[in-house]
Structure 1
Amino acid sequence: MRQKYKNYTLEDHEVWNILASKQLKNLPGKAHPEYLSCLAELENVLHAEAVPRFEELNEVLSAKHGWTISVVPGLIPVEDFFTLLENRKFSASTWLRSKSQLDYLEEPDMFHDVFGHIPLLMNESYADFAQKLGALGVKYIDNKKIVTQLQRLYWFTIEFGLIKEQNSTLIYGAGIISSSGETDHVMNDNVEVKPYDIFDVIEQDFITSEIQTKYYELESFDQLFRSIENLEESLMEHSEMA
């Protein structure tokens, strides 16, 4: 599948502008500086003025850490998703929500996939973590328990992760970054924030249809990558003992 850029309507570009402009104003002081720095690094190909062209994004992403965007029709089987991650391909839809869906969307659209997820792939530790998560998913795809654990890890890091910066708790998860409502919820409401421990995370259930009340806070993106190396070692040890 490919992005058919000429098919985007004026409303599509307007919706993208509304969503991106709102979050560009909302995120400073709430999103981690690394996300904002990565977004700034992509400003020539990812900005509020128009729907981004995947071909232009891919040139920059590939040159940085070897990632590209892989167009998918929507939600895909978990095995396919892990395989794409293992090969440094991030799955993204090309459809965009309508004006009537600005505040709530049940299924992730291109704004979530691209504005939320893509910038941090410019960060080496984060990009390597995502690739390693995919590789573990492929390796253990026949182990339902481990697949579930990896899905939990993805949810509480790549989708809804928080990270410490000095004395502040800031956002890096795409599910928060791409939603003004989620951003304000994390910053203003009474939520539970636990220190990040990968072995705690993989045992924590989540519900996709409800707003999050529990989050895990990293110390750094380096900690994120080191943690999945520790998980890989633990899985190998248990496999050898089985």
Structure 2
Amino acid sequence: METLEHEHIIHYTSDDHLVWAELYEINNQNMMKYACKDYIKGFNDLKIPTFKIPTFYELNTILSTCSTWTIVPVSGYLASEDFFKLINRRKFPITQRIRSKNEIEFSELPDIFHDIMGHVPMLNSDVHNLFSKTISDIALQNLDNPIILEKLSNLYWYTFETGLVKENGEIKIFGGAILTSSNEVNNVFKEDTTILPFDAELIMSSSFDNLNVQSTYFILESFDQLSDACKKLSIIYSNSATK
């Protein structure tokens, strides 16, 4: 999918801004209650507008004061190799589309609310930076290997899209796909929901469904566990790349 070198100014309608405001009100309550500490810190640093869709210029101006990342507009889904190329340069792709009002609780397609509210607050966390650097470095060494790219995409999905982490014995959310969907948040805390211990090898061999509420989630004991997994993956794949 096309990556836009410069922001294509979209003239959002008043209804679009109302959708943003409604999403913000609904999901902000869940974020403050269930999000992990790193997310909440990043969210507070950003001061994302409540009642209107922010521009890329506004967010990049704020990010420049607290992060080494920038956000770039894209026209929709990116191929995995394009996504990894961008995050390797600390450029995070943001879809410019805003979901419709009938998608308030769950949107099948990516949109600007999900990308900004779900992911941008985590951009400056240490674990996100290590994880992004690790998987994108591996991806760039294996662009001709679709199996490895798929494994890395699976790992990204089950962490920074639908990942959970324990904090003080409680389940907290750091996955952006959960935090920006009230349906997903509610699903996580149902009694019959399957939550498995984090296992990088299992995750990388597990496919995912991005069009429906998840049937399985993985939970970290702490972010140190993800950092350790990154170090192991770097060793494994650096060794395989030299063979």
TM-score (norm 1): 0.91
2:41 aligned counterpart, secondary structure: helix
For residues 89 and 151 of structure 1, the distance between their equivalents in structure 2, rounded to whole angstroms, comes to: 17
**Per-residue displacement from partner, 1:171-226 (whole Å, max 9, x unpaired)?**
11000011111011102242221221222221222222332121111123343233
Amino acid corresponding to residue 57 of structure 1 in structure 2: L
Mark the runs of 5 or more structure 1 residues left unpaired by the alignment. none
Amino acid corresponding to residue 95 of structure 2 in structure 1: S
1:201 equivalent in structure 2: 203
2:156 equivalent in structure 1: 154
1:232 equivalent in structure 2: 234
Q: CA deviation at 1:119?
A: 0.4
Q: Is the 8 A contact 1:86 1:135 kept in 2?
A: yes
Q: How many residues align?
A: 239
2:125 equivalent in structure 1: 123
Trace 1:124-143 onto structure 2 (pairs within 5 A). Answer: 124-143=126-145
Q: CA deviation at 1:84?
A: 0.3
2:218 aligned counterpart, secondary structure: strand
For residues 211 and 40 of structure 1, the distance between their equivalents in structure 2, rounded to whole angstroms, comes to: 27
2:185 equivalent in structure 1: 183
Identify the match of residue 58 of structure 2 among 56, 59, 69.
56
1:10 equivalent in structure 2: 14
Q: Is the 8 A contact 1:198 1:228 kept in 2?
A: no
2:46 equivalent in structure 1: 42
For residues 200 and 98 of structure 1, the distance between their equivalents in structure 2, rounded to whole angstroms, comes to: 35
Q: CA deviation at 1:128?
A: 2.7
Mark the runs of 5 or more structure 2 residues left unpaired by the alignment. none
For residues 216 and 225 of structure 1, the distance between their equivalents in structure 2, rounded to whole angstroms, comes to: 15
Amino acid corresponding to residue 157 of structure 1 in structure 2: T
How well do the aligned residues superpose, as a CA RMSD in angstroms? 1.8
**Per-residue displacement from partner, 1:6-31 (whole Å, max 9, x unpaired)?**
61211111110000111112233321
Q: Is the 8 A contact 1:163 1:218 kept in 2?
A: yes
Percentage of pairs with the same residue: 33
Q: Quick check: 1:23 aligned with 2:27?
A: yes
Q: Is the 8 A contact 2:152 2:204 kept in 1?
A: yes
For residues 70 and 152 of structure 1, the distance between their equivalents in structure 2, rounded to whole angstroms, comes to: 23
Cα 1:223/1:60, change in 2 over 3 Å? farther
**Hey, which bits of structure 1, 4+ residues long, moved more than 4 A?**
none
1:145 aligned counterpart, secondary structure: helix
1:169 equivalent in structure 2: 171
